[in-house]
Copies of this chain bind each other. A is one copy, B any other.
Amino acid sequence: MTPERPASLSKSGRGPSMHDVAARAGVSHQTVSRVLNDFPGIRPETRERVLQAIRDLGYRRNMAARALATGRSEVIGVIMPEVPHFGPTSTLYAIEHAAKRVGFKPLITTASWEPSSMGQALDFLLARSVDALVVMAQHPDVLNAVEATTDVPVLYVLTGNSHAERSVAVDQVAGTRLALEHLYDLGHRRFQHITGIAGLTEAQLRRDTFLAFLEERGLERLPILEGDWSADAGYRAGLAVEEGVTALFCANDPMAMGAIHALEERGLTVPEDVSVVGFDDVPESGYAHPALTTVHQDFTEVGLRAVTALMEVINGREPGELEPVEPWLVVRDSTGPAPA
């Protein structure tokens, strides 16, 4: 029952091959291949003999050889940003889980959005004959860097919607509006915004939407506070929030936490003096002090849709329309009515 350590193999070192299995089962290697690939028309008895030989020998398929013969590898290449932020990381896990269910695994590589870095990452993954590519396109330039290099199906993720043809993302505009409308409805009229890393698509979309919202409602446009996603930056920005501001929209939760820390150091209370909204709904945000009102992004859904769409393309079908994933607002204690 337990795989015996194969005493002698056809060749040294490399573990048993189909030939070894075939010899042991008294069939041809092609029959072994057919059993392995679930071809119809194998006599049940033969199949059983082959499976037994496989078990006896502890045989494992050599996917390199298979990839060479078929041109497919059952691996999805994933290009990620180099810094472990919440969004990309969550999406990665989601992709892994979704891919696992269809027998694929992600091969990971990180890259900045510079063409040379992206180029290297692409070369590496394509050389491994990945069947598909997920590119976390934090920056619009990425799209140019990838385009037309290959005919492997490519899907962009985290583009914040509407940036590329083939892309899956949480609708950033909708999420930002949820946050801002919530604040507006509470009576707030003086807003400031702490941004994510300048230039990154999602940061840019949240910022643009923020400005558009001010415009639409005829609200005063105070200076934008530049952040970089980190709680540190949020803290520094929090120190720079203007007097009289009652509504602070932060581009992510860690910055919101940093900002709140700074505001309280300045003697302001949240939400009595200033209401703060974050973005992402990280697991801790419900236990921040005060519990954070924030925009929830369903990265699990993003990963799932990405993998589903790629499987469609791999199998030659046209993927359905790629809808943006809808975010929702989680109202907690960091927002309240505007002070009188």
A residues touching B (Cβ–Cβ < 8 Å)? 13-14, 60-65, 67-68, 71, 73, 75, 82, 84, 89-90, 92-93, 96-97, 100, 105-110, 123-129, 230-232, 234-235, 254, 257-258, 260-261, 264, 283-284, 286-289, 291
Contacts and interface: CB of A to CB of B under 8 A. Distances in A.
Nearest to A258: B287
Given A96-B109, A110-B96, A287 B127 contact: no
A257 B284 contact: yes
A257 B68 CA distance: 51
A244 to B, nearest CB: 24
A288 B286 contact: no
20 contacts: A60-B126, A60-B127, A61-B127, A62-B68, A63-B128, A64-B65, A82-B97, A84-B89, A92-B108, A100-B109, A100-B110, A231-B284, A231-B286, A232-B283, A232-B286, A232-B287, A235-B287, A257-B284, A261-B287, A288-B289
A226 to B, nearest CB: 18
Nearest to A110: B96
B284 A127 contact: no
Given A62-B68, A63-B127, A75-B128, 4 more contacts: A82-B97, A84-B90, A257-B287, A258-B284
Contacts of A258: 284, 287
Contacts of A286: 231-232
A4 to B, nearest CB: 12
Contacts of A105: 107-109, 124-125, 128
A305 B254 CA distance: 29
Contacts of A97: 82, 110
Nearest to A289: B289
A297 to B, nearest CB: 14
